[in-house]
Amino acid sequence: EAGVTQFPSHSVIEKGQTVTLRCDPISGHDNLYWYRRVMGKEIKFLLHFVKESKQDESGMPNNRFLAERTGGTYSTLKVQPAELEDSGVYFCASSTGIFDNEQFFGPGTRLTVL
């Protein structure tokens, strides 16, 4: 069974540009999460989808971040316009609909904003 995949693995952009990150969860997983780790800090929650609906977006930093999960399959996270403080590693995770089941993480996308 394929794990959670993320694309791209690395992205280097300039301040003010737009970047779109993609996450493909494990097939059949209803729950999809986005997290971010800024260098040296904790992994912080951004938002949670249940199928195509946003269940919790309390961690989204501001309205420059837009997440979508059309059709309840893959998800995208767009940052527009990117700022220097957006640099970090963005992780996607997925889990089944059963409560407390393990969240499986993807390898992350390392975003560098210059």
Footprint (CB under 8 A) of other proteins, residues 62-91:
91
Nearest of 39, 27, 33, 11 to residue 92 by alpha carbon: 33
Q: How many residues bind other proteins (CB under 8 A)?
A: 29
Nearest of 77, 40, 41 to residue 61 by alpha carbon: 77
Cβ closer to other proteins: 3 or 16? 3
Under the criterion CB under 8 A, does residue 25 sit at the interface with other proteins? no
Cβ closer to other proteins: 17 or 76? 76
Side-chain-side CA neighbours of 7 within 13 Å: the count stands at: 5
Footprint (CB under 8 A) of other proteins, residues 29-58:
31, 33, 35, 40-45, 48, 50, 55-56
DSSP-assigned letters across all residues of 10-69: EEEE-TT--EEEEEE--TT--EEEEEEE-TTS-EEEEEEEETTEEEE-TT--STTEEEE-
Under the criterion CB under 8 A, does residue 26 sit at the interface with other proteins? no
Under the criterion CB under 8 A, does residue 107 sit at the interface with other proteins? yes
* Residues within the interface to other proteins (CB under 8 A): 4, 31, 33, 35, 40-45, 48, 50, 55-56, 59, 91, 93, 95, 97, 99-108
